[in-house]
Chain A
């Protein structure tokens, strides 16, 4: 994995600090071309990986990358699925089972209907899960996706419920069908590591909030530091600026001093911010190493 991964919250009106800022960003990135422009700038600055939610609007971006292979020769996606609001809103409208039905893919209706229908009937979440993964992955056809993530709201929901099988089902399907490494995003890193150990997912890729002020680091900063020091896993730090509560330099300096972090995922809306983040990471990561 690259040291620096580019995230996508800024493109889809996700801002954990201010609703006003979130709306301003949603307006600015209303047209997919505005997103593509920032991605091109990121690529120019040496960023090669886009870690992105499987938001409906992302399919435009996938099209753009497919249509311009020469501009993005080494570009990789790390899809993060699912875009949970889509399912949550559907569940509010149609109930839980109705929502699952609504998202079975249109293409290959027969096999989908058989697999999904059968899965629904036999209460076998393996069939339903793989069907939903395939639906989410459709837009990435022909693009390089070496790591596929399960989003934190799903990871943490299943972690709390104790649906252990789901993690192995996801990992196996992602490896087998897409030749990709499974990744897990979480707000409860120490606890998730225990569960992944238990179900036999070795040296997992885990992406979690890792920041100086302990924002959304459930289990506490100490438990996170311990885990980074002692556990065998591949850590990706997100929210290193704690939604803006920590300054860029302070955030990067601190996170680069933590042991065993493989990558940092960050969001930025301008070339200047991408460049300055990259400069900081190059400076502090090198000095820490």
Chain B
């Protein structure tokens, strides 16, 4: 049995807690959160031991592993403390707000031979895994362009006050939402050479951006365009989509399906033909041991557990990989600030002066 704790009981922390507590190979021994109120409720109704002091929990709970789901700006410190204690770590995305720090934590985890994983759950969605397979088969020929999109109804009015809408907490559409399609780009194509024309603009939020657009350029001439908007109420829930155009065809995936168009003369992978091919989530999804809100959330936790029990050395969504996504996020952030218009620069300066 793996002795595990959950740090941070927000939406993601509670959701992870529910799934991991049902895992046959895991014993959830403790949880930790800043809200004493929530801890009392959890202790009263689940009987799990609670801590409000993270350091104390690490010291007293004799853990093997931890899930960290605190607001993003705390990730790096929380992760370092856990690694120093010799724990395997699953951390929510984005990994940290400084890629140099993310890389360092990746090296530390590798050095200590600890399993390290970041919660980019789209890599566990069957349709995106199929996208990866088809792409890897080379059937599309040379890829010239990719469009990576994410839309959803997170901030749809000029109010709200959770950490997700506060820049200094690591909130905002870039780190909280665009991180997903960018991580998929990272998985499929690696690091871009450069990014340009990045727009990170507010629609409703006072403190953060609600939409992000950018052009990414890759070695070998491939380009990608990112289009992300978390103030789009027309989507019932978050929708992430990727489309790739190659010399021999086109590839599209979202959470539900993977569509492939292959031109005459393309070399279709096994099971595919030229023309249109569609694979649905029902055939692409592997069963999970327990389901709460989507197989991918269960699957990524099960993968973490298996990596620990099987002592695997290389894992999907490793810290090193998430550090590369953090690096792309920082490239976009820097570019968006370099692209400000004169009046926006003045506004930013005024805000800074006021906050002092």
Residue of B nearest to A89 (CB): B153
Contacts A14-B236, A85-B236; A160 near B290 (Cβ below 8 A) = yes
The stretch of B156-164, B189-197, B319-327 in contact with A is B156-164
Which of A18, A123, A125 is in CB contact (< 8 Å) with B257?
Answer: A18
Identify which of A12, A93, A157, A242 gathers the most chain B CB atoms within 10 Å of its CB. A93
Rounded to whole angstroms, the CA-CA distance of A98 and B165 in the bound complex is 15
Residue of A nearest to B45 (CB): A163
A40 at the interface (CB under 8 A from B): no
Residue of B nearest to A241 (CB): B282
Rounded to whole angstroms, the CA-CA distance of A26 and B237 in the bound complex is 13
Residue of B nearest to A13 (CB): B236
- B38: which A residues are within 8 A, CB to CB? 96-97
The stretch of B16-24, B81-89, B330-338, B347-355 in contact with A is B16-24
Q: Closest approach, in angstroms, between the C-beta of A131 and any C-beta of chain B? A: 15
B289 at the interface (CB under 8 A from A): yes
Residue of B nearest to A87 (CB): B11
- By the criterion CB–CB under 8 Å, are B280 and A91 in contact? no
A268 at the interface (CB under 8 A from B): no
- By the criterion CB–CB under 8 Å, are A161 and B17 in contact? yes
Which of B46, B241, B257 is in CB contact (< 8 Å) with A17?
Answer: B257
B47 at the interface (CB under 8 A from A): yes
- B22: which A residues are within 8 A, CB to CB? 159-160, 188, 191
Identify which of A22, A166, A214 gathers the most chain B CB atoms within 10 Å of its CB. A22
Q: Which of B20-75 contact A (CB under 8 A)?
A: 21-22, 35, 37-38, 40-41, 44-47
Q: Closest approach, in angstroms, between the C-beta of B253 and any C-beta of chain A? A: 11
B342 at the interface (CB under 8 A from A): no
Contacts A165-B45, A188-B291; A92 near B18 (Cβ below 8 A) = no
- B293: which A residues are within 8 A, CB to CB? 153, 157
A162 at the interface (CB under 8 A from B): yes
- By the criterion CB–CB under 8 Å, are B15 and A157 in contact? yes
Rounded to whole angstroms, the CA-CA distance of A187 and B44 in the bound complex is 26
Rounded to whole angstroms, the CA-CA distance of A89 and B45 in the bound complex is 24
Tell me if A's interface is mostly helix, strand, loop or mixed: helix
Q: Closest approach, in angstroms, between the C-beta of B203 and any C-beta of chain A? A: 14
- By the criterion CB–CB under 8 Å, are B291 and A95 in contact? no
A250 at the interface (CB under 8 A from B): no
- By the criterion CB–CB under 8 Å, are B46 and A161 in contact? yes
- By the criterion CB–CB under 8 Å, are A96 and B257 in contact? no
- By the criterion CB–CB under 8 Å, are A191 and B10 in contact? no
Rounded to whole angstroms, the CA-CA distance of A191 and B41 in the bound complex is 24
Residue of B nearest to A186 (CB): B291
- By the criterion CB–CB under 8 Å, are B21 and A218 in contact? no
- By the criterion CB–CB under 8 Å, are A96 and B18 in contact? no
- By the criterion CB–CB under 8 Å, are A161 and B18 in contact? yes
Q: Closest approach, in angstroms, between the C-beta of B192 and any C-beta of chain A? A: 27
- B295: which A residues are within 8 A, CB to CB? 216
Q: Which of A155-213 contact B (CB under 8 A)?
A: 156-163, 165-166, 187-188, 191, 213
- By the criterion CB–CB under 8 Å, are B18 and A216 in contact? no
Contacts A19-B256, A161-B17, A214-B287; A92 near B236 (Cβ below 8 A) = no
Rounded to whole angstroms, the CA-CA distance of A14 and B17 in the bound complex is 26
A63 at the interface (CB under 8 A from B): no
Rounded to whole angstroms, the CA-CA distance of A219 and B287 in the bound complex is 9
Q: Closest approach, in angstroms, between the C-beta of A196 and any C-beta of chain B? A: 15
Residue of A nearest to B257 (CB): A18
Q: Closest approach, in angstroms, between the C-beta of A272 and any C-beta of chain B? A: 23
Q: Which of A1-59 contact B (CB under 8 A)?
A: 12-19, 22, 26
B2 at the interface (CB under 8 A from A): no
- By the criterion CB–CB under 8 Å, are B45 and A125 in contact? yes
- By the criterion CB–CB under 8 Å, are A91 and B11 in contact? yes
B283 at the interface (CB under 8 A from A): yes
- By the criterion CB–CB under 8 Å, are B282 and A243 in contact? yes
- By the criterion CB–CB under 8 Å, are B162 and A92 in contact? yes
Q: Closest approach, in angstroms, between the C-beta of A18 and any C-beta of chain B? A: 5
Identify which of A93, A97, A161 gathers the most chain B CB atoms within 10 Å of its CB. A161
Identify which of B41, B160, B292 gathers the most chain A CB atoms within 10 Å of its CB. B292
Rounded to whole angstroms, the CA-CA distance of A123 and B37 in the bound complex is 7
Rounded to whole angstroms, the CA-CA distance of A73 and B245 in the bound complex is 56
Residue of B nearest to A91 (CB): B11
- A156: which B residues are within 8 A, CB to CB? 18, 290-292
Residue of B nearest to A22 (CB): B236
Contacts A16-B281, A213-B282; A94 near B162 (Cβ below 8 A) = yes
A88 at the interface (CB under 8 A from B): yes
- A91: which B residues are within 8 A, CB to CB? 10-11, 162
B76 at the interface (CB under 8 A from A): no
Rounded to whole angstroms, the CA-CA distance of A217 and B37 in the bound complex is 35
Q: Closest approach, in angstroms, between the C-beta of B88 and any C-beta of chain A? A: 21
- A118: which B residues are within 8 A, CB to CB? none
B346 at the interface (CB under 8 A from A): no
26 A-B residue pairs with CB within 8 Å: A16-B281, A18-B256, A19-B257, A85-B236, A91-B10, A91-B162, A92-B162, A93-B155, A93-B161, A95-B162, A123-B41, A157-B15, A159-B18, A160-B19, A160-B21, A161-B18, A161-B21, A162-B46, A163-B45, A165-B45, A187-B291, A188-B290, A215-B285, A218-B287, A218-B288, A243-B280
What are the nearest 7 A-B pairs in CB distance?
Answer: A160-B18, A93-B160, A187-B291, A245-B282, A160-B22, A163-B45, A161-B18
Beyond contacts A85-B236, A188-B22, A215-B285: 5 other A-B pairs, Cβ-Cβ < 8 A, are: A19-B255, A89-B153, A95-B162, A157-B15, A218-B290
List residues of chain A with CB under 8 Å of any chain B CB: 12-19, 22, 26, 85, 88-89, 91-98, 123, 125, 153, 156-163, 165-166, 187-188, 191, 213-220, 242-245
List residues of chain B with CB under 8 Å of any chain A CB: 10-11, 14-15, 17-19, 21-22, 35, 37-38, 40-41, 44-47, 153-155, 159-162, 164-165, 236-237, 239, 241, 254-257, 280-283, 285, 287-293, 295
